[in-house]
Amino acid sequence: MTLRVIALVGFISLLCNYTAHGQSNSLAGEILEENSTAPLAGALIQVVEAKKATHANEQGFFKFENLTDQDYTLRVSFIGYQDKTVKISLNENTKPLKIALTPQTYSMSEVVVTGTGTIHDINNAPVKTEVITAAQLEAYGGRNIEDVLNGLSASITFSASEMGSGLQLNGLKNDYVLILMDGKRMSTSSSGQVDLSRVNIDNIDRVEIVKGASSSLYGSDAIGGVINFITKKSKKNLAISNHTRVGQHADLLQSNHLTLGNNVIQSNTSFNLKHTDGWQNTTKEWHRDRLYDNSVTKTVNRSTNYTVGQTLAYYPTPKLELSATLSYYERRTDRPVGIPNWRYSNLFFQIQDYATTLKYKLNNKSWISLSSSWDKNNYYYDYQTREYTDYYDHQGKRITHYKGDRVLQSSERKWINNAKSAFYLGDKNILYAGIEHVWEQLVAPYRLATPKKSNYYVDVYAQDEWNITQNLNLTAGLRYGYHKGYANTLTPKISTRYALGDFNFRVTYSQGYKVPTIKELYNRYYSTIMSKFKAYYGNSNLKPQESNYYSLNIEYIRPKVKLSLTGYYNQIRNLISLQSTSTSYEDIQLLVEETMHYVNLAKAKSFGIDASMEIKPAKDFKIGASYSYLKAQAQRTDDEDAEDYMKFVPMDGTSRHNLSINTSWEKDWKKYKLVLGITGRYQSKRFYTSHGDAKAHQLWRFNTRHHIINKKMLKLVVNAGIDNIFDYVDRTPFGHNRGTTSPGRNYYLSLAINYQVKPIK
């Protein structure tokens, strides 16, 4: 009996002791940016003594369960912010914490996603990624995204085009570069170009550029690289913004945003308008081997475009996100009628985008998503006067267009479905996998042998990121594709990163492929290009293009200095090119001067070196520069009578040397902040096989940014500056290649107003 009593007393004593000293409680809190209500979603919180860790959710909140009452040490870290340690004595009366992190003054770190499809600190990313940050975009103050990319990235160049943005990345034109918006393909025109005037600079958080073949992740169009525009993401009760920019030549940029929402649903509405009256740098024009002195052609035509966008996001649970987006875009380009081309029509573009996405978050940062999108890109002629065409209707009557007629030239439709996922398999592996289906159709009554043609393909891909050690990563990917009309494709990519002290070493090998476009397969149309009236014909027997890309990157990273050097070599087989062939009797009757066919005769190769530096010699002063050396060659196929026919010659539109320099200085007086920026771009001669090389030139600009009101709820910012400070104008006659279309020195002014209620908790 006595033993039972002793045991019972001992049990009660232990229970009381546990109740008094070992009670289980929870610890919750919120991670914010210092001097702001902005949540730091994804911040890492560690409880040292309990050996537990978690990440803050999208509202910045975190919670630990089943902690005993005792003293704990919390370590909080987030990319771009100073680490923070907090001591806490946990008991049943402990209130939720509010922990504010201070931005890292000298941090040059950014988060990137494009290279692998998964989130990485840029300094630790397995694949070398170039980033143009929001701060750089703001400091630059450009009139459009082409100006910004051309001014801040030496490896990107642009050439003027009425059909879109004539972009080149390390020597490969836009047909070989995939343009994404938040990982989704932007629709292209029938010419293969993306109209980047659709991109609203105000809504871009950063631009990620991955050079070299990325077909293992992104498929056919990524043989030369990927440019991904990452938009700003925020969850607010209410936010309203307006940005107006005006410049000479009636340049106007108008951008408006409205955000409404709560914890469950978010709505983002946007409107973006751009206009210019255009300009004329010369009245001289080569046309059909004759130089005219009184040309009416403009260097840049008068144009107006606008975009209306709407996004709805629904969060029924913390792990599930449903979203839907739509976008409508119109652009009208006015072309003068007169000597020597006598263009009878203006150009009208209309693009519609619709997309839905479902994303479900699993445990340990893993996730799966399903998405579907539909794009429709229409291109019209708007006739200003009567034109007798060389086409006939089904009754044999010549087709005539009259003033006011809007005639469809091409309509490109694309339906894309994606299922993809990322699985975090312990601390050492991330498996990224997916399946993609693409169906596309081109309707072009005057540009195809038949009114419409369609194509489709289905790809399956997988990639594994293996962190062999803390300093060594190996990333390998493989893509299998089935394409209508072509043999199956298998595309590998392998990349490794090794960290040694302050150095990063990256080595990459990747294969790329690109199937012929519908245009290249079936096109048939007539056009005056440069100074000749030409006939263009597709080739249904074309083979897919293939490439082998090799690169070596060395990076040196310190808090105030970041240096990068990349060497690469790219080989392309079965390059699709236009070849000059004999002109048929029927085309001679139509006054065709030259006939061009798409062929697989050409091979291409390129060697290049990209170098960049970022230096912060003082807290408020930054210096950045990037240099690109490029030797890109392709076999010449456009003229069988030329001495260098089928020999390697410089690829059209490429320049050997490109240099971008940008500096900024800022001073904050609390109630007023000033940012000064100077940016320069040098571009050497651009090579062309016909119509002359484009001149070397350099352009410099000066931008001032004034934060007049900088409060949590209200911000007012003014930009004022000068484009092309030294007033350089390229007056090369039309019909020959030009280095730049700049109108010369140009003054501008902009005003941005932002009002927001604090972010949702």
A 10 A CB-CB count for 36 gives: 13
Residue 164 confidence class, pLDDT cut points 50, 70, 90: low
Residues in a beta bridge with 494: 476, 509
Spell out the SS3 assignment of 139-180.
HHCCCCHHHHHHHHCCCEEEECCCCCCEEEECCEEHHHEEEE
Most confident segment among 355-359, 528-532, 639-643: 355-359
Coil, strand or helix at 174 = helix
* 102 or 46, which is more confident: 46
- Same structural domain, 119 and 44: no
Q: Give the pLDDT confidence score for residue 408 in this predicted structure.
A: 92
A 10 A CB-CB count for 4 gives: 8
Q: Residue 644 carries which side chain, given as an amino acid letter?
A: D
* 527 or 619, which is more confident: 619
| Burial classification of residue 644, based on how many CB atoms lie within 10 Å of its CB (0-12 exposed, 13-18 middle, 19 or more buried) | exposed
- Is residue 105 predicted with pLDDT exceeding 50? no
- Same structural domain, 298 and 357: yes
Strand order in the sheet with 172-173: 156-159, 166-169, 172-173
Structural domain of 43: 23-101
- Does 509 fall in a domain? yes
Coil, strand or helix at 215 = helix
Domain end position, chosen among 57, 74, 101: 101
What is the rounded average pLDDT of the residues 453-458? 90
Q: Give the pLDDT confidence score for residue 55 in this predicted structure.
A: 86
* 285 or 186, which is more confident: 285
* 51 or 395, which is more confident: 51
- Is residue 657 predicted with pLDDT exceeding 70? yes
- Same structural domain, 666 and 531: yes
Q: Give the residue from 117, 121, 134 showing the smallest Cα distance to 214.
A: 117
- Same structural domain, 82 and 128: no
- Is residue 19 predicted with pLDDT exceeding 90? no
Distance, CA of 334 to CA of 303 (rounded, Å): 6
| Burial classification of residue 20, based on how many CB atoms lie within 10 Å of its CB (0-12 exposed, 13-18 middle, 19 or more buried) | exposed
**What percentage of the chain carries pLDDT values higher than 70?**
92
What is the rounded average pLDDT of the residues 713-729? 94
- Does 490 fall in a domain? yes
224 φ, ψ to 5°? -105, -15
Q: Give the pLDDT confidence score for residue 109 in this predicted structure.
A: 57
- Does 17 fall in a domain? no
- Is residue 61 predicted with pLDDT exceeding 80? yes
Q: Give the residue from 293, 141, 112, 168 showing the smallest Cα distance to 723.
A: 141
Domain at 568, CATH number: 2.40.170.20
Residue 17 confidence class, pLDDT cut points 50, 70, 90: very low
Distance, CA of 620 to CA of 674 (rounded, Å): 10
736 φ, ψ to 5°? -120, 160
Distance, CA of 406 to CA of 243 (rounded, Å): 33
Of 126-140, 435-449, 587-601, 743-757, the least confident: 587-601
Task: Establish how many alpha carbons lie within 13 A of residue 647's alpha carbon, considering only the half-sphere containing its beta carbon.
Answer: 7
Domain end position, chosen among 76, 101, 126: 101
- Is residue 161 predicted with pLDDT exceeding 80? no
- Is residue 11 predicted with pLDDT exceeding 50? no
Q: Give the pLDDT confidence score for residue 112 in this predicted structure.
A: 86
What is the rounded average pLDDT of the residues 27-48? 83
Tell me whether the omega of the peptide bond preceding residue 340 falls within 30 degrees of 0, making it cis: yes
- Strand 111-112 and strand 120-121: the pairing is antiparallel
* 92 or 453, which is more confident: 453
A 10 A CB-CB count for 730 gives: 17
A 10 A CB-CB count for 682 gives: 17
A 10 A CB-CB count for 658 gives: 24
Q: Tokens representing 549?
A: 């890309």
- Same structural domain, 74 and 116: no
Q: Give the residue from 510, 509, 584, 577 showing the smallest Cα distance to 543.
A: 577
| Burial classification of residue 246, based on how many CB atoms lie within 10 Å of its CB (0-12 exposed, 13-18 middle, 19 or more buried) | middle
Most confident segment among 185-199, 202-216, 575-589, 633-647: 202-216
Domain end position, chosen among 55, 73, 101: 101
Q: Residue 324 carries which side chain, given as an amino acid letter?
A: A
DSSP letter for 7, please: H
Tell me: the pLDDT tens digits for 246-273? 999 999 999 999 999 888 899 999 999 9
Distance, CA of 59 to CA of 76 (rounded, Å): 16
* 589 or 216, which is more confident: 216
DSSP letter for 721, please: E
- Same structural domain, 281 and 208: yes
Residues in a beta bridge with 569: 550, 607
Q: Give the pLDDT confidence score for residue 77 in this predicted structure.
A: 83
Q: Give the pLDDT confidence score for residue 717 in this predicted structure.
A: 94
Q: Where are the beta strands (DSSP E) in 300-450?
A: 302-317, 320-334, 345-361, 367-383, 387-392, 398-401, 406-425, 429-443
- Same structural domain, 226 and 312: yes
Domain at 36, CATH number: 2.60.40.10
Q: Give the pLDDT confidence score for residue 223 in this predicted structure.
A: 87
Distance, CA of 314 to CA of 323 (rounded, Å): 6
What is the rounded average pLDDT of the residues 429-455? 89
- Same structural domain, 621 and 681: yes
Distance, CA of 607 to CA of 506 (rounded, Å): 17
Q: Give the pLDDT confidence score for residue 21 in this predicted structure.
A: 45
DSSP letter for 696, please: P
- Does 11 fall in a domain? no
Q: Give the residue from 216, 214, 172, 229 showing the smallest Cα distance to 551.
A: 214
Q: Tokens representing 625?
A: 């520069």
Of 17-31, 76-90, 355-369, the least confident: 17-31
- Does 49 fall in a domain? yes
Distance, CA of 77 to CA of 718 (rounded, Å): 34
- Same structural domain, 587 and 499: yes
Helix (H) or strand (E) holding 587, with range, is: helix 585-589
Q: Give the pLDDT confidence score for residue 236 in this predicted structure.
A: 67
Q: Give the pLDDT confidence score for residue 663 in this predicted structure.
A: 92
The CA-CA-CA angle for residues 494, 500, 506, to 5°, reads 25
Residue 390 confidence class, pLDDT cut points 50, 70, 90: low
DSSP letter for 95, please: P
Q: Tokens representing 299?
A: 């260097």
A 10 A CB-CB count for 500 gives: 9
Residues 6 or more apart in contact with residue 232 via CB below 8 angstroms:
134, 203, 204, 205
The alpha-carbon radius of gyration of the chain (Å, integer) is 29
What is the rounded average pLDDT of the residues 1-25? 49
- Same structural domain, 294 and 325: yes
- Is residue 191 predicted with pLDDT exceeding 70? no
Distance, CA of 607 to CA of 609 (rounded, Å): 7
What is the rounded average pLDDT of the residues 169-184? 87
- Does 69 fall in a domain? yes
Helix (H) or strand (E) holding 85, with range, is: strand 84-89
Q: Give the residue from 723, 741, 718, 717 showing the smallest Cα distance to 731.
A: 741
Q: Tokens representing 331?
A: 């652009």
Q: How many domains does the chain have?
A: 2
- Same structural domain, 527 and 387: yes
- Same structural domain, 191 and 313: yes
Label residues 264-295 b or e (16+ Cβ within 10 Å = b).
eebebebebebbbbbbebbebbbbeeeebeeb
- Does 87 fall in a domain? yes
- Is residue 501 predicted with pLDDT exceeding 80? yes
Of 11-20, 181-190, 462-471, the least confident: 11-20
Contact 172, 151 (CB under 8 A): no
Q: Give the pLDDT confidence score for residue 16 in this predicted structure.
A: 45
Contact 482, 457 (CB under 8 A): yes
Distance, CA of 408 to CA of 463 (rounded, Å): 42
* 187 or 721, which is more confident: 721
- Is residue 6 predicted with pLDDT exceeding 70? no
What is the rounded average pLDDT of the residues 36-62? 83
- Is residue 9 predicted with pLDDT exceeding 50? no
Distance from chain centroid for Cα 198: 12
- Does 10 fall in a domain? no
* 205 or 563, which is more confident: 563
Helix (H) or strand (E) holding 698, with range, is: strand 697-710
Q: Give the pLDDT confidence score for residue 69 in this predicted structure.
A: 85
